[in-house]
Structure 1
């Protein structure tokens, strides 16, 4: 409260009133609650957030960035196999690992940093991961990365450090599942002729850490990791030099990476050879400046581990010199709301990783300055609480967690565009749970904008230190992870009621016994995005008037006009006087990647040999057709369910003419007379675009609305769990 200038004191009779006024003003500031604009710092010392849930979701983020052959029952329904050609150009299998960020390039250097950082979190706070039920999840994610490192290291002095590259990958905005179709997945390596001590040293560290944390659960795998770690460190140390990574991740040096790899090999093996190597690569006088542990500078983490391993006061002083810079009153810039702000690029990434180092150092009572430990600890709590919502905005910076969390992260697969455009659609079709966005500017300013990748980029290295800090917060304050979460429907954004496969149709000409149509097959899939090359559409005709006049099929002519790879088949009897012809795009790839790829057109002419005996107005598929074709790949104009779309003959979307009383049970996809878990599994296959043969697609449309989608999935699930007593359209 600012004093009134020019007045030294208040009159005695005013003092009680002034005191009451002061107390009334201070009480709201003392009470727990979100930080308001201009507040000095976030809170410490309480269970303000569900830290277990935040940790659970932050780990889950890594599954969204997996590349390679994903399990058929993958927990994220919007993800499918991706980057399956990695390594083919060099005759190797380099599939797997994580895409780096919102793009699709795979970098061994930042990936090995992220995997190593997650492993370090397990090393320090294994109990917290066990207690929260997240140990298996985080180990599974780390192994997904280390499995790739082992593949990428096919011989002692060879390491592949990148798959894909900037010019190709950044020229498109497509889901990870589409990378193989529209980008060049070229492979890049380091070897004795082109060394890369930075990437090799960093990867050696990740594998050395893996050899420690997997020892209790999988000693054989731990030994494999150790073998590769030793070989990679030897390669990095023997053939010294920076890898030629280019403009995206230009390395600042490699001595820190050598120290980082060496100290973890020492921790694992207790061989002083590695300790000497670590100290030689990171002499006690080398650490300075106000940065923190990150993919390009692991000297701060290496110094911390050397200090803990040796109890050398000189290294301890190095650690505290760096941490002191980050403390309030140090030289680090702070936002008005209390975020220790290092850079516009991933401000929260740096603050949360500095918090992790502060936690680890404050936990160690055997080395360092005891009087500083509480300050370090409090700093760490404040930074994590800021990220979770205790900030001037009153909002979380973790997608899908807390209040006012981001919904427009810069992430191509979460967005789900079918036109390679950040503006199509205007919302994200999938929820990228757990992703820590880059964060606010130095003034706490931030906007939820997919195109602002400075503030809204997400990355595997952004989440890495954050996960470890959350584990510590959970260990102190709890907040349990969600139970029976996630479910497939949880990931789909509420706004996304879009049809993924459909036909648009327009009348180009009508008259004198002729009907010229344009039919357009669309693939806007995102759950997951799938390339289709067996799509077809059927136009259903009622030929009653033709037959009643004594004419036959030979008196109606169906011809295919201009098209983009279509074939025409027909006419084929459906029932009674209902026939259909098929416009078949089999052999033509239709994929949600660009305008020219997500839709394919064909013109068809229907002509009766006598104009007075044929009419199309009673055709099932004529319903709703209009003129004026709309060629805009963003629009849904002209979409008609009465011209159904099929995948290899299996109905994907649309309505076929009714056959009278249904001879099936809604929900009984295998027609065995029962609705059970087998049908549920078949429906899941339909929804991921891989329907089993002989699946009754009419039965899959549980609510009979002409579409098979997540609503049918939810209804069938509720029925099988006895939440509802009957299916809405069960016959």
Structure 2
């Protein structure tokens, strides 16, 4: 990392069985009634491309079925100096440091997407690719967790890495590895990695039970380690401070890890942790308007809300209600319905959620994901959201999530797709070393640090390779975007930008297919 259209609300109520078609159709109309000037999007293509992106970001020895052919093996000696095998994992963005915290959050979000929308991803034919993307990360975490209280946090360092503009296959920069342990704690990193492995264990439970069990074993050990030896990882690993500093601290990650472990195991002790520490760890105290690799509270609060909606654990309902209250604060803030305008998320004139100028799209994709998940929770429990007296149905929430995805795909003032490789107009000068330089497969001659800057970074031509599926940082607060390699605030992409898109794209594709099927069926057939 260097550093739509407002639709009339349809009042679709529960109908008798014979009228279920009308109810379903009403919902679909409210979601997909498109005015004459609006554009339709190919969510299937966007979904396929979003998963392709993770293959571009792979570090290590690439597999035989690698689809992104301009990449080759890299980082094959990672960990060698420290006597540990740290080959594999993901580069987080356009450079070649392997940062543990954003990598773990990427895997957590990919896993959560599969957990929520597995059927939709499978119907789209992308489940195998989604699971491969997750496993590429978890295989690395297993290697990096070399003993119960040791987790390797980073390989390489941002400062030396940024002196060079090279392909990953040519790396000459430091591959120094950094770890957390009892004497150098990192509860935030241990917690997020535990969450990623616990969430992934749910994904693999049916298809690979042995692997699922192994992931759970590591997740439990990491959670215990992070909870027992408390501290921020950026204090122990100082080189990360300028790149992925843990501003929110570690308490959100410990709650997050415990809740994911509860979801994976149904062990009441984990839920008790989430309930008992809800207040002291900020779970029911922090009202947050962003969800990111650093700040987990909104995601935690959304998951806790689901427990309440399912009417489980009535003995904890008082605390779970408070979690839900904070989740709804986040949802209402995204929808712009909080009473105090200052507590709503800002929007660009074109309607995009806007948190900050540096890589804003990461907050848009996570918001679209949480909104989609919460919409499902409300629909499944037959409830509405209340934003300061205004009742909001699940359709309206999903509608807004869809508007954010459509903005990303091209429904914006620039008519630009911010998902690279999707559509006919997308960023061609993405701030990404490997994509900008001629492919190693085509030109195996060594390209050095300054040579990369002189011949490739500074050129005005489009990148040599298309970084398909990358979600770039995106436009500024006025919807303006400058497609230049040096403009890394807008043109750099990160794995955690794209990861939340996978589930949402699958859901929107499913609804579109459902709409098409119902449009070509008779009401009587469709209602049964």
TM-score normalised to the size of structure 1? 0.58
2:196 pairs with one of 203, 206, 210: 206
Q: Is the 8 A contact 1:308 1:367 kept in 2?
A: no
Give the match for residue 211 of structure 2.
221
Give the match for residue 334 of structure 1.
347
Q: Is the 8 A contact 1:300 1:319 kept in 2?
A: yes
Counterparts in 2 of 1:4-403, with a 5 A limit?
A: 30-33=35-38, 48-72=40-64, 74-179=66-171, 182-244=172-234, 245-252=240-247, 253-283=249-279, 285-291=284-290, 293-311=291-309, 312-330=320-338, 331-364=344-377, 365-366=380-381, 369-370=384-385, 371-372=391-392, 373-403=394-424
Q: Is the 8 A contact 1:57 1:434 kept in 2?
A: yes
> C-alpha distance in 2, partners of 1:278/1:226?
18
Superposition deviation, residue 77 in structure 1:
1.7
Give the match for residue 506 of structure 2.
471
Alignment length (residue pairs): 435
Give the match for residue 27 of structure 2.
none
Instruction: Classify 1:385/1:425 alpha carbon distance in 2 versus 1 (closer, same or farther; 3 Å).
Output: closer
2:464 pairs with one of 429, 433, 441: 429
Superposition deviation, residue 329 in structure 1:
4.5
- More divergent stretch after superposition (325-334 vs 392-401): 325-334
Gaps in structure 2 of 5+ consecutive residues: 1-33, 235-239, 310-319, 339-343, 386-390, 439-446, 515-528
Q: Is the 8 A contact 2:288 2:298 kept in 1?
A: no
> C-alpha distance in 2, partners of 1:262/1:169?
34
Q: Is the 8 A contact 2:52 2:67 kept in 1?
A: no
Q: Is the 8 A contact 1:255 1:281 kept in 2?
A: no
Instruction: Classify 1:51/1:107 alpha carbon distance in 2 versus 1 (closer, same or farther; 3 Å).
Output: same
Instruction: Classify 1:285/1:77 alpha carbon distance in 2 versus 1 (closer, same or farther; 3 Å).
Output: closer
> C-alpha distance in 2, partners of 1:319/1:297?
13
Q: Is the 8 A contact 2:91 2:99 kept in 1?
A: yes
Give the match for residue 513 of structure 1.
none
Superposition deviation, residue 377 in structure 1:
1.3
Equivalent residue of 1:246, what SS? helix
Q: Provide the alpha-carbon RMSD of the alignment.
A: 1.7
Gaps in structure 1 of 5+ consecutive residues: 1-28, 35-47, 480-731
> C-alpha distance in 2, partners of 1:159/1:98?
16
Superposition deviation, residue 304 in structure 1:
1.1
Residue by residue over 1:21-58, the C-alpha shift from the partner in whole angstroms, topping out at 9 and shown as x without a partner, is xxxxxxxx942335xxxxxxxxxxxxx11101101101
Q: Which has the higher helix share?
A: 2
Instruction: Classify 1:335/1:425 alpha carbon distance in 2 versus 1 (closer, same or farther; 3 Å).
Output: closer
Equivalent residue of 1:160, what SS? strand
Superposition deviation, residue 468 in structure 1:
2.1
Superposition deviation, residue 395 in structure 1:
1.8
TM-score normalised to the size of structure 2? 0.80
Superposition deviation, residue 368 in structure 1:
5.8
> C-alpha distance in 2, partners of 1:171/1:183?
8
> C-alpha distance in 1, partners of 2:495/2:37?
33
Q: Is the 8 A contact 1:105 1:169 kept in 2?
A: yes
Residue by residue over 1:283-310, the C-alpha shift from the partner in whole angstroms, topping out at 9 and shown as x without a partner, is 353221322x210011111111112124
Residue by residue over 1:101-147, the C-alpha shift from the partner in whole angstroms, topping out at 9 and shown as x without a partner, is 00100011100000000000000000011101100001001000000
Q: Is the 8 A contact 2:292 2:363 kept in 1?
A: yes
Q: Is the 8 A contact 2:55 2:66 kept in 1?
A: no
> C-alpha distance in 2, partners of 1:215/1:447?
44
Instruction: Give the ranges of 4+ consecutive aligned residues of structure 1 lying more than 4 Å apart after TM superposition.
Output: none
Equivalent residue of 1:188, what SS? strand
Superposition deviation, residue 268 in structure 1:
1.2
> C-alpha distance in 2, partners of 1:123/1:30?
33
> C-alpha distance in 2, partners of 1:322/1:288?
7
Q: Is the 8 A contact 1:313 1:368 kept in 2?
A: no
> C-alpha distance in 2, partners of 1:209/1:335?
34
Equivalent residue of 2:241, what SS? coil
Residue by residue over 1:183-226, the C-alpha shift from the partner in whole angstroms, topping out at 9 and shown as x without a partner, is 11000000010100000000000000111110111111001000
> C-alpha distance in 2, partners of 1:141/1:379?
28
Equivalent residue of 1:247, what SS? helix
Residue by residue over 1:689-722, the C-alpha shift from the partner in whole angstroms, topping out at 9 and shown as x without a partner, is xxxxxxxxxxxxxxxxxxxxxxxxxxxxxxxxxx
> C-alpha distance in 1, partners of 2:406/2:460?
32
* Structure whose alpha-carbon radius of gyration is higher: 1
> C-alpha distance in 2, partners of 1:416/1:478?
39
Counterparts in 2 of 1:394-543, with a 5 A limit?
A: 394-416=415-437, 418=447, 419-421=451-453, 422-424=457-459, 426-478=461-513
Superposition deviation, residue 367 in structure 1:
7.8
